[in-house]
Amino acid sequence: MSSVSAIFDKISSKDKDLRYMATSDLLNGLQKESFAMNAESEKKVCQVVLQQMEDASGDISNLAVKCLVPLAKRATDASFEEIVNGLCDKLLNSAKEPQRDIGSIGLKTVVSEISSTDTASGFVKKLTPKLITYLNSSGGIPDVKSECLDIIQEEAQRFGIHMTSLHEPLKDCLLPQLCNTRAGLRKRAILCTASIAASMPDVMLVGVCEHAISGLADKTKKPDITRTYVQMIGALSRSVGYRFGKYLPAVVPVLMEYCNAAAEGDDEMRENVLQGLESFVLRCPREVTPFLEAILAICLEYLKYDPNFSGDADEEDEDMECSDDEDADEESEDEYSDDEDSSWKTRRAAARCLTAIITSRPELLGQMYAQACPLLISRLREREESVKSDIFNVLIDLLRTTGAASKKPEGTSALTLLSGVVGNLIKESKKQVKEKSLKTKVAVFLLWKELVMALPNGLQDHIAGIVPSLEKALSVSVLVLCIAPPEAASTFEGNAMLLDFVPQRSLKRVFPAVAEVQRGS
């Protein structure tokens, strides 16, 4: 016990260095099984740790926070309750923001670090009712309520199985927050409710889903509240999976109506709807089947949704396709930019929903080639790089799904479908490989890699047009690899894969350029 006493003596010193050393010794001691504490010293250690968290020195307060986890693991129930009460008091009752921050950090640290089942169960049962009481209060500081919701969400994600007895009060507490005037609180309430719903029994989940559907269908609500309920529907679907399937007939038509009726600038609504539809496709595959035609149609419609920009996809001179102009890499097809334009969110969400359909429903390959593939190829000229990346990913997944289907007895038809679009796919992707963006170049080579894997002889008629692009991009890749950015490795890997399918006579053009770059570097 002399070591504990020595720590207590130093920890109250006016000398910052002594306090730091004492707190560090306490942390090291708590992490050792040999560090013995009786009931009295354990209580004193709890008080000291809570006190040191308020130290003016950030280094000391950070060490004190680290002491919480080993202390919580070995403390008796009485001492552990004292820690929880002390941290809650700082968060919920302090008039000073720094004190509230300390309480929040301390509670989040314990939630994220404890692993013992008994400790977790005790922690949840002691802490959560206090947070619920504060959230139910008519007053309270909004920022503190936000912290309470963050903590509850972390609890639900890690220890949802221990919160069964608290599901009813949590439901009654969280659902009214969906109509809160503060957007931040509404968003956190969505995340909390969805996290808790994952461990809810079906009987209680019905109440949550019906509340969300009722709020969604209420056309008298303000647009921002309606968006909240749209987000809530998507979050519930992602969280509870197939259990949400039975509600799709009531939900899907309403979501599509909101999507089509959204104002031109309301890209958040369209994005939220499309994200919800994506989750239905992935999480409720059987129940979503009757709606797949409509979902595919709305995805294709909004994949090209760009009200702030008009451009003719066929404007470019066809003779430019095979040009080896040295300035090609210096020019981007379109560098139009508008910081206020958020329509890219709609297009991105549509692309990701298409990916969900392609990867989860291989039986729709024929329909995807007929309806989606031509549009996807034309949209490779997308002006927003993040959306363009997602469109490349959709095409890559389409090729990957085709390759998998081709290995089945009836796979010949899948390869026939792919053969029919190879020409247009190569034509458009060759233009993209001239873009300045390294990310776009990487996407092109990954696309070609998947193409030759799905259809080994598919590039036979296009090699002559591809080799100049390979030659230039491969040379640049080797040069950039000498500087070692991580992205370049993917470009080089894609190129190396393609070289397996390049005729010997064409390789003679590629490798001298690589060797020249290597000598120059």
What is the Cβ-side half-sphere exposure of residue 154, based on CA atoms within 13 angstroms? 20
**pLDDT score at 500:** 54
Report residue 200 as tokens: 């809810």
Contact 346, 274 (CB under 8 A): yes
271: left (phi over 0), alpha (psi -120 to 50) or beta: alpha
How far is it, in rounded angstroms, from Cα 167 to Cα 332? Answer: 54
Contact 426, 462 (CB under 8 A): yes
Contact 368, 317 (CB under 8 A): no
How far is it, in rounded angstroms, from Cα 44 to Cα 203? Answer: 46
DSSP 479: H
Listed residue (34, 71, 65) closest to 52, CA to CA: 65
Q: What single letter denotes the amino acid at residue 435?
A: E
What is the Cβ-side half-sphere exposure of residue 169, based on CA atoms within 13 angstroms? 15
Contact 52, 11 (CB under 8 A): yes
484: left (phi over 0), alpha (psi -120 to 50) or beta: left
How far is it, in rounded angstroms, from Cα 498 to Cα 446? Answer: 9
336: left (phi over 0), alpha (psi -120 to 50) or beta: beta
Q: Would you tell me how many other CB atoms lie within 10 Å of the CB of residue 488?
A: 20
Q: What single letter denotes the amino acid at residue 176?
A: P
Q: What single letter denotes the amino acid at residue 310?
A: S
- Concatenate the DSSP letters of all residues of 47-97 into one string: HHHHHHTT-SSHHHHHHHHHHHHHHHHHS-HHHHHHHHHHHHHHHHH-SSH
- pTM value is 0.83
Burial status of residue 50 (CB atoms within 10 A of its CB: 0-12, 13-18, 19 or more):
buried
Contact 63, 20 (CB under 8 A): yes
**pLDDT score at 339:** 62
How far is it, in rounded angstroms, from Cα 375 to Cα 63? Answer: 57
Instruction: From first to last of the 521 residues of the chain, give the pLDDT tens digit.
Output: 446 777 888 888 888 899 999 999 889 988 888 887 888 888 888 888 988 898 888 899 999 998 988 888 887 888 888 888 999 999 999 988 988 999 999 999 888 888 777 778 888 888 999 999 999 998 889 999 999 999 999 999 998 888 999 999 999 999 999 999 999 999 999 999 999 999 999 999 999 999 999 999 999 999 999 999 999 999 999 999 999 999 999 999 999 999 999 988 899 999 999 999 999 999 999 999 999 999 999 999 999 999 887 654 444 444 444 444 444 444 444 444 456 789 999 999 999 999 999 999 999 999 999 999 999 999 999 999 999 999 999 999 999 999 999 888 776 788 899 999 999 999 999 889 888 888 898 899 899 889 988 988 777 788 887 888 777 766 655 444 343 345 444 544 555 555 555 555 454 554 454 444 344 43
